[in-house]
């Protein structure tokens, strides 16, 4: 659980930002692991905010393979060969879905985030457009380059 006294400014620039969602990668959960099961887990802090809402989660909540897949799916949207992308880690604290909603390039970003998935659920939607995709793809590629697959 993260101390709610933090602000986004305490963390610096996010590793990945989509609308009101910011994700900071702190490093690998097991830096000395050399297998794909343990070695690809990343320790992250996520914050999602919208009018009247501010939700934080922290821990080993995402794998570098999840980030890579999401980046590839965002590339497919940008190329016009897909209408959706999903960051859907094994852990239940965070899920991000992007879906094109019209031919003009508008995208609905749906963030499901919960610091305690047994007692809470938070769903926050944002409107973005295809111009955001290049930045999202670049951020995903940067994370994958910094933490290559094992």
- Residue range 87-119, pLDDT digits in tens: 999 999 999 999 999 999 999 999 999 999 999
Is 3 within a domain?
A: no
Model pTM score: 0.94
SS3 state at 141: helix
Is 64 within a domain?
A: yes
Is 2 within a domain?
A: no
> Shortest CA distance to 93 belongs to which of 42, 150, 38?
42
> Shortest CA distance to 93 belongs to which of 140, 49, 58?
58
When divided into structural domains, the chain yields a total of 1
Can you read off the two tokens belonging to residue 103? Answer: 């031919």
Range of the domain at 27: 8-146
Is 47 within a domain?
A: yes
- In the chain, the percentage of residues whose pLDDT exceeds 90 is 91
Is 22 within a domain?
A: yes
39: CATH: 2.30.31
**What pLDDT is stored for residue 1 in this prediction?**
47
**Per-residue confidence band for 5, with pLDDT thresholds at 50, 70 and 90:** low
pLDDT at 150 over 90: no
pLDDT in tens, 11-66: 899 999 999 999 999 999 999 999 998 999 999 999 999 999 999 999 999 999 99
């Amino acid at each position: 659980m993260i101390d709610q006294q933090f602000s986004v400014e305490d963390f610096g620039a996010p590793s990945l930002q989509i609308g009101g969602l910011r994700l900071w990668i702190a490093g690998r959960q097991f830096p000395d692991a050399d297998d794909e099961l343990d070695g690809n887990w990343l320790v992250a802090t996520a914050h999602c905010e919208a009018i009247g809402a501010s939700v934080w989660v922290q821990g080993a909540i995402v794998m570098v393979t999840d980030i890579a897949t999401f980046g590839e799916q965002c590339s497919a949207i940008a190329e016009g060969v897909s209408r959706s992308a999903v960051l859907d880690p094994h852990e239940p604290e965070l899920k991000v879905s992007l879906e094109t909603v019209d031919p003009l390039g508008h995208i609905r970003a749906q963030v499901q985030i919960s610091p305690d998935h047994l007692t809470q659920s938070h769903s926050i939607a944002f409107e973005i457009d295809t111009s955001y995709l290049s930045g999202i793809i670049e951020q995903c590629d940067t994370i994958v380059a910094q933490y290559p697959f094992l």
